[in-house]
Amino acid sequence: MPRILPVLLVALAGIAAADEFPAPVNTQAAGEHPPSPREMLDLFELPEGFQVKLFAGEPDVQQPIAFDFDDKGRIWVAENYTYSSHGKIDPNLRDRVIILHDKDGDGEHDERKVFWDKGSMLTGLTWGYGGLWILNDGTLSFIPDKDGDDVPDDEPVVMLNGWTKNAGHNFVSGLLWGPNGWLYGRHGITDTSYPGTPDTPKEERQPINCGIWRFHPTKHTFEVVCHGTTNPWGLDYNEVGDMFMTNNVIGHLWHVIPGAHYERMFGQDFNPHLYELMPQIADHYHWDTTGKWSESRDGVADDLGGGHSHCGGMIYYGQNFPKEYHGKIFMCNTHGRCVNVNRLERKGSTYVGKREPNFLKVNTPWFRGVELKYGPRGCVYLTDWSDNGECHDHDGVHRTSGRIYRISYGEVENRAFDLQAQSIHELLQIATSNSSKQEWHRRRASRLFTEKYAESTEAAKSNIRLTNTGYWSHESSAYKVQRHMIQKFQNLAAVDALSDEQISRALICKDELLRSLAVEQITSKPEMLNRLHGLMDAWIHHNEESPVVLMTYASAIQRYAGEIHRNGTLVGRFPGQSALLKLARSCKADHALQLMTWYAFEKAESQSHIHFQAVWIEDPKIRSFMMRRLASDWQRNGHFVVDQLKILGHAIYGAPSDAVRTEDPKHAALTLLQGISEGMKGQVGLKKPRHWKAVREMLTKIDDPKIDRFVAEMSAAFGDLDATGDLLDLIDDRDGDHLVRSRAIENVARLKVPNAVSILLPHLTDRAVYVDVARALASFDDPRIPAELLKRWDGLRHGSQEAAMDTLVSRKSYAVELVKAIDDGRVDSGALTAAHVRQLVSFNDPNITKIIEAKWGVVNQSSEAKQTMIGDLKQRLTPDVLAAADLENGAALFKKSCANCHKLYGEGGKIGPDLTGANRGNMDYLLGNIVDPSGEVPKQFTVSVIALTSGRVITGVVIGETEQVITVQTDKEQMTIAVADIEERTRTTKSLMPDGLLDALTEDQRRDLIAFIQHRAGTHRQAVGVAGE
């Protein structure tokens, strides 16, 4: 026993030490620290009458990444210490949740508790259902505290898993209870998550990599609400339940429409058949979008709003601020160190965000506003990350700072409240209050109502339903419904307490918002849709004109579209064709509704396999998109597509239809043919449909050269020798229109027209098209091609030499001839780019690799060698050395090596990130990305090597895929490839940006290129201009 006791004590001491919360570590440079919390108060600029107080500051709160109120009005804060440079997770630290309470209402916290301290990448929290909901360590989890003693009852329960941990600063975030009882959250763009309940198999999970999602707390159902944007970091809803998110770079304000697909900063939507994405709703940006968004920092863009980065989103409905602030959305502007305000105005089916004066500014670079929310007394609470870096934190992380400020106007009321003590009927009364000044209490009462209803007996639930009838009686169709009735409907709908009769009467109410809610309710539950879809579709078709209701209907189709069965018998389909066609008639002047209507058509076609008579769709854009969608699966839909053209011919030459009566027949035909042409791209072995000969003759009667060109392309795709001959004749006509010849060259390459090589090769001397010819030859396997390209090498100019090199590395047999020419000096190895070298090495031919390494340089360096190279370059590229650089030469090198993929100050391609706003002033960041571009690459952006049956090899990122074709982004272009043409497809761990970019450059060239990329003065435009002459 004496011997056991010391061992036991040591073991217990070890356990205690292991459980001790790790001390936060700053990685900011020594001596860099923010002003003190109290000093910060003097740096605020606020409108007259407002005041700011320090609610809490370090050491009581640090790294406040998220916060929310509980039902007592206390603030729960997520302190995130594990977030480190470049968004990596530091495994040596932990995150925690603290509770801050202002007992006397003076604006400063009086009590602080630690609730839980076992977190890792803790990025969101909210209170509800007797516990705390958290986003932590790739999960949505629930920490129960049923007795409310501020001590967890048990370990966190995982509700959803599958959130990526490799998204950098674009991780899953947020948490907000919506007006319908669902829990909402956000997600950024740089990696894809596959969230689901722990028992959900991967194949049933919905992917998300930017957008909004939601989870039902009692049904345990997960849904993606919408896709797109960049990294949404603010979310709130207005008094009628419409949601809005704030975002970064590509637009700051977006109306969250379920089923919407928004523009993205980069990458493709998961659905390859959308064809156009929805823009932000703001009519302005907070930076100058014509150029240097990186130089919108440090006050340069103050006149526009402050800069491109935004955090937090709050629509104010509190009782403390003056009335003019009610209903406006507030967001923190990272670079402007201010809070932006937008006014939300209804515009058709959606809203427009109008710029209002900034609400406040903080005069220090250390202010990093993250979230802002109004509390129970109407005061606004604002969290400050307190760091000198941006979200990427390339300059280090200052973990021992953080503040929460309270902003108020005039006198602050201090009345007591206790929502938890209210009965279920009292909660419903508060939740349907007609006063927007009590919105904080109303929202929490609404959530508490759903909680208590879920726990109630059937008798209690029945009593709620019986005592809340009559609000949508027959007379309600004669007047506009009041706001509290809208809220009554929302709350009862959230707990499934509305009858079919109530919903049916709401559907014909005079108020468009209530009708919209009725449509949403009918389509949210399959069993109700089963019973009421006929009534709803009839109403939409015959009566509905409101763009608000039509938008809700189009949105609902994204959630559920398919066959309707009753007792095992097919009784209909949702949506009905007549209702959809009504949408297409009503959306022309409303861009958001137009795109959502197209998404509805696409969903209905893909889910129900309903073949719409596209020719009768009145909206030209939707008509063209529908034809493109159908033509994208020619094997299944080809005959139907041509039948649509036949119907159009009868309409033109017979009795005109409603669809084309008000439209120029040529335009009607062109919209269909443009869609068909886009949809057919990449497909091979297409069978000629029935009636094609008659349809072709009908279309040629229209006598329009654009129509004739489309007809010729389609005929050639069906193997019509006359049509392929026509294309070859167009190419051979040296006096013909350049654009027409260029399109013909593209098509003979796409269709691999026999005998095309014999026509194309002589045109390597034709400067009007020799770039197009050199590029097109990559589609053919013919020994004459490398011989002719190498023979004419010195005569190729104006980009044709680069196109020829792309062709020479496109297949192994060509590459063998190329390296022979390099080895014997006929071709300078300096003509090779790093991308060309990567392609050559991918053939795994020892002789090719040997010659490339001898003539160009070492490829596939080890990680250690790359780090050594970075260190060596840092020592050599001193400020004095860079100051002596030749920027004109640097611009020329940038144009050759980088501009295909990257923009710099508006010049260059859009394949890779825009370097204008990148952290290119930081030498570690810049060299790390150039020397080791594959060091950190999200999975969806890794390169695939695709070997075609023809022998051609393509290296690029697969950005879209259907059953028929894949879309590949190479370093030069976007290609559509038939799946049937692919022999082998290998996914690598490499970035599209190749290794070895600097290897073939001299020391002076490296200096010039790096100096040009880092250069921020106005002379860069002159340098680019000179390089391009």
Nearest to 707 by CA among 655, 654, 667, 750: 667
Average pLDDT over residues 63-67: 97
Tokens for 1022, please give them.
């002159």
User: Structure pTM?
Assistant: 0.85
- Torsion from C-alpha of 189, 194, 196, 198, nearest 10 degrees: -130
Instruction: Name the residue with tokens 């790093």.
Output: 834
Lowest mean pLDDT among 437-446, 559-568, 843-852, 934-943: 934-943
Beta strand 369-374 pairing with 380-384: antiparallel
Tokens for 702, please give them.
């229209």
Instruction: Give the span between the Cα atoms of 783 and 765, in whole angstroms.
Output: 19
pLDDT at residue 862, rounded to an integer: 64
Instruction: Give the span between the Cα atoms of 682 and 684, in whole angstroms.
Output: 7
Distances (CA, A) of 606 to 261, 453, 682, 694, 976: 16, 38, 20, 29, 21
DSSP output for 392-421:
T-TT---TT--EEEEEEES--------GGG
The string of pLDDT tens digits covering residues 119-150 is: 999 999 999 999 999 999 999 999 999 999 99
Amino acid at position 5, single letter? L
Neighbours of 699 (CB within 10 A): 22
Instruction: Give the span between the Cα atoms of 678 and 659, in whole angstroms.
Output: 22
Q: Give counts: helices (H), strands (E), the chain.
A: 33, 34
DSSP output for 654-676:
SSPPHHHHTS-HHHHHHHHHHHH
Helix, strand, coil distribution of the chain in percent, nearest 5: 40, 20, 40
pLDDT at residue 178, rounded to an integer: 97
Beta strand 211-215 pairing with 183-187: antiparallel
Nearest to 652 by CA among 637, 667, 673: 667
Instruction: Give the span between the Cα atoms of 194 and 205, in whole angstroms.
Output: 6
Alpha helices by DSSP H, 387-499: 424-431, 439-455, 458-466, 483-494
Instruction: Give the span between the Cα atoms of 1014 and 1001, in whole angstroms.
Output: 18
Contact by Cβ (8 Å): 960, 979:
no
Mean pLDDT rounded to a whole number for the chain: 86
DSSP output for 606-657:
HHH-----GGG-SSHHHHHHHHHHHHTTHHHHHHHHHHHHHHHHHHHHSSPP
Instruction: Give the span between the Cα atoms of 239 and 446, in whole angstroms.
Output: 13
Distances (CA, A) of 436 to 244, 328, 329, 620, 653: 18, 13, 15, 43, 60
Beta strand 253-256 pairing with 243-246: antiparallel
Question: What are the residues whose beta carbons fall under 8 Å from the beta carbon of 858, sequence distance 6 or more?
Answer: 996, 999
Model confidence at 716: pLDDT above 80: yes
Q: 3-class DSSP state for residue 1018?
A: coil
Tokens for 808, please give them.
């020479």
Q: Which helix (H) or strand (E) holds 507?
A: helix 500-507
211 burial (CB, 10 Å; 0-12 / 13-18 / 19+) is buried
Q: What percent of the chain has pLDDT over 90?
A: 50
pLDDT at residue 800, rounded to an integer: 86
pLDDT at residue 936, rounded to an integer: 63
Question: What are the residues whose beta carbons fall under 8 Å from the beta carbon of 755, sequence distance 6 or more?
Answer: 728
Show the CA angle centred on residue 545, arms to residues 539 and 551, nearest 5°.
Answer: 90
Model confidence at 1024: pLDDT above 90: no
Q: In the chain, what is the straight-line distance between the N-terminal and C-terminal CA atoms, in Å?
A: 90
Model confidence at 392: pLDDT above 60: no
pLDDT at residue 767, rounded to an integer: 86
- For residue 173, name the pLDDT band (cuts at 50, 70, 90): very high
In terms of residues, how long is the chain? Answer: 1029
The string of pLDDT tens digits covering residues 603-618 is: 988 876 666 777 788 8
pLDDT at residue 703, rounded to an integer: 84
- For residue 856, name the pLDDT band (cuts at 50, 70, 90): confident
Contact by Cβ (8 Å): 967, 959:
yes
Strand partners, 422: none
Radius of gyration of the chain (CA): 32
Q: What is the 3-state secondary structure (H, E, C) of 960-1010?
A: EECCCEEEEECCCCEEEEEHHHEEEEEEEEEECCCCCCCCCCCHHHHHHHH
Distances (CA, A) of 211 to 147, 170, 192, 1010: 35, 11, 11, 36
Q: 3-class DSSP state for residue 79?
A: strand
Instruction: Give the span between the Cα atoms of 890 and 1009, in whole angstroms.
Output: 4
pLDDT at residue 1023, rounded to an integer: 41
Instruction: Give the span between the Cα atoms of 465 and 849, in whole angstroms.
Output: 77
Tokens for 414, please give them.
């201090």
Tokens for 437, please give them.
């000044």
- For residue 447, name the pLDDT band (cuts at 50, 70, 90): very high
Contact by Cβ (8 Å): 935, 949:
no
pLDDT at residue 12, rounded to an integer: 37
Question: What are the residues whose beta carbons fall under 8 Å from the beta carbon of 525, sequence distance 6 or more?
Answer: 496
The string of pLDDT tens digits covering residues 449-483 is: 999 999 988 988 888 887 776 555 444 443 345 67
- For residue 1027, name the pLDDT band (cuts at 50, 70, 90): very low
Question: What are the residues whose beta carbons fall under 8 Å from the beta carbon of 636, sequence distance 6 or more?
Answer: none
Distances (CA, A) of 725 to 712, 728, 770: 10, 5, 20
What 8-state DSSP symbol labels residue 763? G
CATH class of 50-264+367-409: mainly beta
Beta strand 222-229 pairing with 261-264: parallel
pLDDT at residue 473, rounded to an integer: 46
Higher pLDDT, 849 or 315: 315
Model confidence at 58: pLDDT above 90: yes
Contact by Cβ (8 Å): 502, 469:
yes
pLDDT at residue 471, rounded to an integer: 53
Instruction: Give the span between the Cα atoms of 361 and 649, in whole angstroms.
Output: 63
The string of pLDDT tens digits covering residues 194-222 is: 999 999 998 899 999 999 999 999 999 99
